[in-house]
Amino acid sequence: MARSRAGLKQWAREHLKGVENTLFPSFTPDMKALDEDGIRRDVRQSIAHGFFSTMCATETGLTLDEAKRFVAVAADEAGGKIFVTTSLLRDSLDENAELLAHAERVGLSGALVGYPPSFHPEDAEEVYAVTRRLADSTGLHLTLYPSPHFPFDTFHPSGFPLDVMERLADLDNVVAVKVGELGLFAEVHRRCKDRVLVGCPVERYVPLLVQGFGMQWMGAGCYEVFQSPEKRYLVEYFELLRQGKSAAAMELYWKLAPMRNIFEQQFNQTVMTGTYHWHAQKFYQWCVGGNGGLTRQPAMKLHSWEAAQIRMGYYAIDIEPRDNEAEFWVGRSNSERAPERAPG
């Protein structure tokens, strides 16, 4: 993918359009190694869903070497059919930098810029310096991530120093900002819309943000919640909104209300705890053809009543989820390699 650093902002406006999902690692049954077949299956599923990009979530129980292998396998399987990005949410700034350099070598398109739990800057200028150094080290496109999980609220009530964000938006390879809160979305749009794309991962807000603010990209998120490869509800209604076909788009939006309510009820209980419910998100993906399987601990537990709610939600939006959850717990690829463990 030939791109000049100076032209990345224009490249982003032309190519970062649609829905970006999240790719989670899969593991062998003993949880000691990556299940590369399972990862490749999920890349193929991301393509089949019609997502324009998939983001490797590397903050999911992986060593740095495993994170590097994870993104390399994903890029190899993608083969240019879908953009592949990665989160930079490792345990140290050095690990973030090392993963970013590796991601560029193996062919990823971009990265979501995060900060490790150990990063507690004394002033906002340190946030700028650290992020600028990372941006200067790569030719990949970068998405800023003003998450409430970072300890930056002492610099600005929004949770991110907005004067720093404005300065970072000037950098050639900073092309987007991922914002999950409506007030902050509006503020970032006001300050930076001429330099970066502003995206929001919250599906409920999509009609407002596409029609009112011209949002052209959303993600990354576990958007298999809202569709299957055969019934691409979210991808379709997002594109209909972008085309100005609001009536048709809103028919699909309202069709998803049962699953939206179930997902938000489950997701909102955990979103501010500092991490996400990886097992539930892997279960959503498995229900519509993904590999499934668990991630390493620490991870939240998927209870039987939660799984039953999720399956009920799919039926409510006319998608038949996969059956026999025994396959999910080990992952489809592992199940297929060990027929004696596969569901009957």
The burial of 230, by beta-carbon neighbours within 10 Å (0-12 exposed, 13-18 middle, 19 or more buried), is given as: exposed
Q: Which of 4-18, 137-151, 258-272 has the lowest mean pLDDT?
A: 258-272
Hey, where are the domains in the chain? 5-333
Amino acid identity, residue 224?
E
Overall average pLDDT of the 182-210 stretch: 98
Please tell me the CATH code under which domain 5-333 is placed: 3.20.20.70
Q: What is the pLDDT of residue 342?
A: 44
pLDDT over 80 (residue 2): no
Q: What is the pLDDT of residue 344?
A: 42
Q: What is the pLDDT of residue 308?
A: 97
Report yes or no: 326 and 343 within 8 Å, Cβ to Cβ.
yes
Q: Is the CA virtual torsion 14, 16, 19, 25 positive or negative?
A: positive
Percent of the chain with pLDDT over 90: 93
Confidence of residue 298 (pLDDT cuts 50, 70, 90): confident
SS3 labels along the chain:
CCCCHHHHHHHHHHHCCEEEEEECCCECCCCCCECHHHHHHHHHHHHHHCCCEEEECCCCCCCHHHHHHHHHHHHHHHCCCCEEEEEECCCCHHHHHHHHHHHHHHCCCEEEECCCCCCCCCCHHHHHHHHHHHHHCCCCEEEECCCCCCCCCCCCCCCCCHHHHHHHCCCCCEEEEECCCHHHHHHHHHHHCCCCEEECCCHHHHHHHHHHHCCCEEEEECHHHHCCCCCCHHHHHHHHHHCCCHHHHHHHHHHCHHHHHHHHHHHCCCHHHCCCCHHHHHHHHHHCCCCCCCCCCCCCCCCHHHHHHHHHHHHHCCCCCCCCCHHHHHCHHHHHHCHHHCCC
Separation between Cα atoms, residue 339 and residue 344, nearest integer Å: 9
Tens-digit pLDDT profile for residues 104-154: 999 999 999 999 999 999 999 999 999 999 999 999 999 999 999 999 999
Q: Can you read off the two tokens belonging to residue 108?
A: 């990823």
Q: What is the pLDDT of residue 305?
A: 96
Report yes or no: 268 and 302 within 8 Å, Cβ to Cβ.
no
CA-closest candidate to residue 73, choices 112, 119, 27, 114: 27
Separation between Cα atoms, residue 172 and residue 177, nearest integer Å: 14
